[in-house]
Chains A and B, each alone.
Chain A
């Protein structure tokens, strides 16, 4: 056993235990760790954004841009940084009740820009790519007459799975989509198809759940290794 003599390892270990104490019940140790984490992390992101984004993309270009302007170099692209600078100041009008409504201009800019990105981004990633993926697996179509034919010429379990999988994928997508029909009551034919859609959904959810367990366990392993090895030194 080699217990760590590094004060920071001790701090990290004690905070780790404070968080784990939550599994037993809410208690002062957890409350302490929780408030510390909220405080430290809230400050962390502000500092990181400041140094990594505001300095290189706002302060430095403004300094250069105005430097060139005042030394007679005219307007340069650096001055484009005025856009976020002004928008940022507009956001801060929220602090002054009388003109707080002005902050909506900046919010309108922010929201509008992201909506534009959403429309095209979702069209590509969520619609086109998914339709494409329904038909294709890698560089080949999910099914072909040849695949089905090869089953009939030489029947076998592997072959039937291979032959059926593609059509099943397409059927699954269509049924799942049917479940998401809102303007039709789920009765009769539509209801039946939507029901099959639910079957696909449930199998999918179960599979995703099972798939994720492993990754979560490895996180716990990581923390326990830290406690047992880096801190207590009971394992090598």
Chain B
């Protein structure tokens, strides 16, 4: 067995170690690789920028732990942006696996920026029946969410006193790992003309581009790359940009392995041919 053949039959555990290092190193020591922003993400950013201070934004956490690595970074970036712009945030959850995540994120970010519960943001918790909930918000928030997550009647929450339905909300952003954006488009946008943006996983993003063309979504944040772009736009690097470093490195590593494997394969083939001749 020559060196090329040995390389072709390398113990795959070496590959595993390199993949792990390719993720761990940038997480601990971010490389800060350049990320260029794209129009779909810029549009979400601009939609938030355009709102007058004090206009409530609804952020719906419609995902569960399985897609959390991709969706939490963008949720955090959007929350930071809203708080920085003085836009009160209403947080809802349509996915049964989401409340814990949403609570943790809203707690952390509100402490970080010093947002006051009930005035700068409110957490309404999870409600069963995605489409029905989206529809009923169009009639009246107080019907679909009589109390917040902590069982405080929302009539007693200063922020919610000003909000009746979509008419009082500047922008809805749904963060979703499944088909929730479809329901938001069909019921909040189509029925009530609500301005809508979405954050989805990288794999889903392609499916939602058509909604951008038709204007049913004002913007779209796709996967860690989208989160990284948003972090760049608000100038607050975090998990998105760090994760993007790791993703880039692993991508390039996989491509490199394919190339090296094929070069070695070529040499082995040539050696075999020579032997045969």
Contact = CB atoms under 8 A, between A and B. Distances in A.
Say if A and B assemble together.
yes
Interface residues of B, number: 27
Contacts of A223: 69
A221 B203 contact: no
A209 to B, nearest CB: 10
A211 B205 CA distance: 11
Contacts of B239: 225
Contact of A213 (B20, B24, B214, B251): B251
Given A138-B210, A138-B214, A215 B201 contact: yes
Given A138-B213, A214-B247, A217-B246, A225 B69 contact: yes
A219 B68 CA distance: 9
Contact of A228 (B27, B70, B243): B27
B218 interface: no
Nearest to B246: A221
Contacts of B137: none
B69 A221 contact: yes
A24 B13 contact: yes
B203 A220 contact: no
A125 B60 CA distance: 29
Nearest to A211: B203
B243 A215 contact: no
Contacts of A222: 68-70
A218 B247 contact: yes
B143 interface: no
Most buried by B among A23, A24, A225: A225
Contacts of B223: 214-215, 218
A234 B25 CA distance: 12
Given A23-B16, A222-B69, A228-B28, A217 B23 contact: yes
B163 interface: no
A225 B65 CA distance: 13
A221 B13 contact: no
Given A138-B214, A212-B203, A213-B250, A221 B28 contact: no
A235 B20 CA distance: 16
Contact of B24 (A24, A217, A219, A224): A224
Contacts of A212: 203
A18 B43 CA distance: 43
Which 5 A-B residue pairings sit nearest by Cβ, starting from the closest? A222-B69, A217-B250, A221-B243, A218-B69, A215-B203
24 contacts: A23-B13, A213-B250, A213-B251, A214-B223, A214-B224, A214-B225, A214-B247, A214-B251, A215-B70, A217-B23, A217-B250, A217-B251, A218-B202, A220-B19, A220-B20, A220-B250, A221-B23, A221-B243, A221-B246, A222-B70, A224-B24, A225-B69, A228-B24, A234-B28
Given A24-B13, A221-B247, A228-B28, 6 more contacts: A214-B225, A215-B202, A221-B69, A224-B23, A225-B27, A235-B27
